Structure 1
Amino acid sequence: MATQKFGVQRLSSAATAGLAFAVGVLVVLAAQQRRFEALRLRVAQVEQADGRNARLAEQQRFQTYLLEKALDDQDLAEVLSTINELDPTRRRQYLFANALYTNALRAHRAGDVNWDELHGHLRVICQSAIFRDYWDATRHHRASLKERSQEARVGQMVDALIRDLDESDTEEWWVVGEPPSEQD
């Protein structure tokens, strides 16, 4: 009987060890499965972002193409411009001012410049009297933007920059104005 009991204990110990090994393998497999799922989701996010960036780049190229056509042809510029009674030179200048602003905005959206860098780029653009005229003439265009949208916040940044530059008593324009926090 003692031999049988010893055999059962030995079998029980082997079964326990086997069960512990199996549980360990299952824990490792579950952890690997979670890691694999996290990696799969990350790859899907990167692929989605790459597709979005490719579409944005294509849209930017097409917008640039349309702008070039409008800048080269006064009749087409009249279609693209929403401001009436501009002489052809001023219309081309306004279209170019819009292109500069749009380029800065899209560089931020693409992640090429951060919020503070965008502020710096816009501060340079706001030095132009023609850009300021364009900005004032297109104020009504921005009135329909949702207040918390990214473009509305960037527009508010430009408004503040122009105001700060106008009120500044220094010739060192490159130090005027602080960027608002990105969440404002």
Structure 2
Amino acid sequence: MSAVFSGLALILLVATLLMQQREIRMQRHELALQREELASSRAELHRSAESDLRALHVQLTQLAMDDPTLAEVWNDFPGEPPQTLRQNLFANLTFSHYLLLYKWGNITEAELVARVQTLVQSPAFDRYWRASRSAKEILPADSDEGRLFRIFEQAIHESRRQGSPPTP
């Protein structure tokens, strides 16, 4: 009788271990799903924060465009007349807009080059680009803004090679 109870206890122990192993697998799977959800939530929060920061940048730029005395605080384009300063600030917003489109995957590199080739035909944008180029060319090559700078440079080069330089 003792052997029967020992055998039953052993069977129950094995069954319990198998159930615990199954439960652990299910918990691991659940944890993996939670990690994926957390990573997705973090990415979405980051994108939302980036969007909020971008909106603040637009507001600050708008203030500077409306009041040249405020633009002097940034001092990105010292000594420029108010009209040129507003154009440069707007051109910078345009560059930043393309940066977000590119960074978030809403535009392909080929589409971006085509749009930039049109944009760089503007004398006002060309003036902005010449004024801000030195600050952009030192950006890390592997950063989104550094990659975008190189795409703009490629588009400018191709546009000029095709014989349509911007008019001063």
TM category (shorter chain) comes to 0.7 to 0.9
Query: 1:101 matched to which residue of 2?
Result: 95
Report the alpha carbon displacement of residue 18 of structure 1 after superposing the two structures with TM: 3.7
Candidates 31, 42, 50, aligned match of 1:48: 42
The 3 A distance-change label for structure 1 pair 123 and 22 is farther
Candidates 124, 128, 147, aligned match of 1:130: 124
Alignment of 1:22-61 (within 5 A): 22-61=16-55
Q: Would you say the 8 A contact 1:105–1:154 is kept in 2?
A: yes
Query: 1:159 matched to which residue of 2?
Result: 153
Alignment of 1:48-127 (within 5 A): 48-109=42-103, 111-116=104-109, 117-127=111-121
Once residues 143 and 106 of structure 1 are traced to their aligned partners in structure 2, the CA distance between those partners, rounded to angstroms, is: 18
Task: Report SS of the residue matched to 1:148.
Answer: coil
| 1:81-123 deviations in Å (ceiling 9; x for gaps) | 42233222111111100000011112333x2514424444434
Stretches of structure 1 that go unaligned for 5 or more consecutive residues are 171-184
Which is further off, 143-152 or 28-37?
143-152
Report the alpha carbon displacement of residue 25 of structure 1 after superposing the two structures with TM: 1.7
Report % sequence identity: 23
Q: Would you say the 8 A contact 2:137–2:149 is kept in 1?
A: no
Query: 1:175 matched to which residue of 2?
Result: none
The 3 A distance-change label for structure 1 pair 15 and 81 is same
Q: Would you say the 8 A contact 1:67–1:95 is kept in 2?
A: yes
Quick one: higher RCO (CA 8 Å, sep 6+), 1 or 2? 2
Report the alpha carbon displacement of residue 134 of structure 1 after superposing the two structures with TM: 1.0
Once residues 68 and 93 of structure 1 are traced to their aligned partners in structure 2, the CA distance between those partners, rounded to angstroms, is: 11
Q: CA-atom RMSD, angstroms?
A: 2.6
Report the alpha carbon displacement of residue 19 of structure 1 after superposing the two structures with TM: 4.6
The 3 A distance-change label for structure 1 pair 114 and 27 is farther
1:146 aligns with 2:144: no
Aligned residues: 163
Stretches of structure 2 that go unaligned for 5 or more consecutive residues are none
TM, length-normalised to structure 1: 0.74
Structure having the higher Rg: 1
Q: Would you say the 8 A contact 1:70–1:76 is kept in 2?
A: yes
Amino acid of the structure 1 residue aligned with 2:29: R
Amino acid of the structure 1 residue aligned with 2:156: I
Once residues 68 and 80 of structure 2 are traced to their aligned partners in structure 1, the CA distance between those partners, rounded to angstroms, is: 11
Q: Would you say the 8 A contact 2:64–2:70 is kept in 1?
A: yes
Once residues 113 and 24 of structure 2 are traced to their aligned partners in structure 1, the CA distance between those partners, rounded to angstroms, is: 47
Report the alpha carbon displacement of residue 63 of structure 1 after superposing the two structures with TM: 0.9
Task: Report SS of the residue matched to 1:83.
Answer: coil
Q: Would you say the 8 A contact 1:145–1:151 is kept in 2?
A: yes
